[in-house]
Amino acid sequence: MRLIITLLLAKGIFLATASPLSGVAPTFGLASWGLEGYAKDNPIGPTTGGEGGEEVYVSTGKDLLEAVKDDEPRVIYVRGTVELPERAKVGSNKSILGVGWDAHIKKNGITVDGTNNVVIRNLKISYIEGGDCIALNNATRVWIDHNEFESELSLEVGPDTYDGQVDISRAADWITVSWNYLHDHWKSSLVGNDDKLRDVDFGHLHITYHHNHWRRSGTRGPAGRFGHQHVYNNLYEDFLYQAIHSRSDNQVLVEGNVFRGDTREALSTYGLVIPEDSPNTCTCGDEELDGFANLGARNDWGGAGVNITQEGDFYEAEYKYKLTPLWLVKPIVRLGAGVGRI
Ligand SMILES: *[C@@H]1O[C@H](CO)[C@@H](O)[C@H](O)[C@H]1NC(C)=O
Ligand SMILES: *[C@@H]1O[C@H](CO)[C@@H](O)[C@H](O)[C@H]1NC(C)=O
Ligand SMILES: *[C@@H]1O[C@H](CO)[C@@H](O)[C@H](O)[C@H]1NC(C)=O
């Protein structure tokens, strides 16, 4: 009861300060509500999605597929539950925005492949089989914000029934993943999908992860190869096996994160891909080159392990951002992450 009241109050506060779906709302003061990180500050310009384009409302899978497919700027509002008959292939200059509390994508996920400037906010995407909830391949400037991703984390279902929640590959770049609620899922967010793709990926895959709420997850929160990820102010609860993994010369800057509950390893740069991540390839796990990690503002590891085998040179992010004080990360992320907040 108290929790519900607190939630409602907090929502009131957020609504009072944030204009719905504008993406440039004033902030809570202690964290940025609008776009922040690599999708904003990068050499090719801030992510704007469909800003300035026509606005359309869709409530069927067919209409959604149609609305996203060209490269015209367009703001697409999604109402209610939408079953996608196939994966939505998103063209450039698109905003896909859920309306209210209950915009929900089912059956097939969303792909941004070889296109640019896409915003995806306020959508629940769950139980997507045979593909990722969101797959970004060779895409630049993408903002994934205030969504919810869910499937099932259990030994019966295993790690491979569902694929990733937000997987980012093929030299994708300048991406922010913020305020998402990612839960009950084995392999959450993979960055760089193959250690043989060094020539394609190296020097790309700049991704900011901030104020995400991970809960009851298995691995990859995130797991990166060949890129740079700035991981700050995320809340991890019962992230069972391994949360942040940096391998194959990847670099992470990790700061102001909070780990709670049952988590074996919060951060590792040891190249071994643990058996729980890919139990089918080899029971011993796969060996890759180690990655790098730097620690910025203090993290609260909550008793989880940290294995930094080598420090990198990613000491600070090259943009401005609001760092939430460590003691406020848990309440703020719990109240602010997920759908129905913007
Ligand atoms: C839409 O996207 C394409 C491809 O990324 C780009 O060249 C074009 O300038 C964009 N159009 C507008 C109006 O922003
Ligand atoms: C990315 O997409 C562009 C344009 O569609 C293409 O020319 C390029 O080869 C692609 N790069 C990769 C790594 O797939
Ligand atoms: C930490 O990394 C070292 C390699 O530097 C490895 O030998 C050790 O097993 C790792 N620890 C864990 C818990 O994975």
**Which range, of 14-23, 49-58, 307-316, averages the lowest pLDDT?**
14-23
Residue 341 lies in a domain: no
Residue 59 beta carbon below 6 angstroms from any ligand 3 atom: no
Residue 309 beta carbon below 6 angstroms from any ligand 3 atom: yes
Which segments of 116-260 does DSSP mark as H helices, in order?
198-201
Question: Separation of 273 CA from ligand 3 center, angstroms?
Answer: 11
Residue 92 beta carbon below 6 angstroms from any ligand 1 atom: yes
**Which range, of 58-62, 85-89, 238-242, 277-281, averages the lowest pLDDT?**
277-281
Q: Which residues contact 86 (CB under 8 A, 6 or more apart)?
A: 65, 108
Measured CA to CA, the distance from residue 176 to residue 39 in angstroms comes to 5
**Which pLDDT belongs to residue 152?**
84
Locus of tokens 């139980």? 127
Whose CA is closest to atom 13 on ligand 3?
307
Tally the domains of the chain: 1
Q: Name the nearest CA neighbour of 211 among 256, 165, 263, 164.
A: 256
For residue 44, count CB atoms less than 10 angstroms from its CB and return exposed for 0-12, middle for 13-18, buried for 19 or more: exposed
Residue 311 lies in a domain: yes
Residue 93 lies in a domain: yes
**Which range, of 34-48, 79-93, 155-169, 206-220, averages the lowest pLDDT?**
155-169
* Residue type at 217 in one-letter notation: S
Q: 14: pLDDT confidence band, cut at 50, 70 and 90?
A: very low
Q: Which ligand is nearest to the CA of 242?
A: 3
Residue 72 beta carbon below 6 angstroms from any ligand 1 atom: no
Whose CA is closest to atom 4 on ligand 2?
114
Q: 26: pLDDT confidence band, cut at 50, 70 and 90?
A: very low
Full residue range of the structural domain in which residue 248 is found: 2-336
* Structure tokens belonging to residue 273: 């891909």
Measured CA to CA, the distance from residue 87 to residue 205 in angstroms comes to 23
Q: Could you read off the pLDDT of 131-187 as tens digits, one per residue? A: 999 999 999 999 999 999 999 888 778 788 888 999 999 999 999 999 999 999 999
> Taking a C-beta distance cutoff of 8 angstroms, is the pair 116, 92 a contact?
yes
Distances from the Cα of 286 to the Cα of 23, 259, 276, 282, 293, angstroms: 41, 26, 11, 7, 20
Q: 307: pLDDT confidence band, cut at 50, 70 and 90?
A: very high
Measured CA to CA, the distance from residue 217 to residue 154 in angstroms comes to 10
Ligand 2 pocket: which of 92, 138, 141 to mutate (most atoms <8 Å of CB)? 138
Distances from the Cα of 202 to the Cα of 119, 169, 230, 253, angstroms: 24, 11, 16, 17
CA 142, 148, 151, 152 torsion-angle sign: positive
Residue 116 beta carbon below 6 angstroms from any ligand 1 atom: yes
Question: Separation of 333 CA from ligand 2 center, angstroms?
Answer: 36
Residue 66 lies in a domain: yes
**Which pLDDT belongs to residue 280?**
55
Q: Which ligand is nearest to the CA of 52?
A: 1
Residue 239 beta carbon below 6 angstroms from any ligand 3 atom: no
Q: Could you read off the pLDDT of 90-121 as tens digits, one per residue? A: 999 999 999 999 999 999 999 999 999 999 99
Measured CA to CA, the distance from residue 148 to residue 81 in angstroms comes to 14
Q: What does the pLDDT average to over 318-325?
A: 95
Bridge partners of 149, per DSSP, are: 125, 182
Measured CA to CA, the distance from residue 296 to residue 281 in angstroms comes to 34
> Taking a C-beta distance cutoff of 8 angstroms, is the pair 92, 117 a contact?
yes
pTM of the full predicted structure? Answer: 0.92
* Structure tokens belonging to residue 40: 């904003």
Residue 123 lies in a domain: yes
Q: Name the nearest CA neighbour of 231 among 293, 170, 168.
A: 293
Q: Which ligand is nearest to the CA of 274?
A: 3
3-state secondary structure of 241: strand
183: CATH: 2.160.20.10
pLDDT at 21 over 50: no
Question: Separation of 270 CA from ligand 3 center, angstroms?
Answer: 6
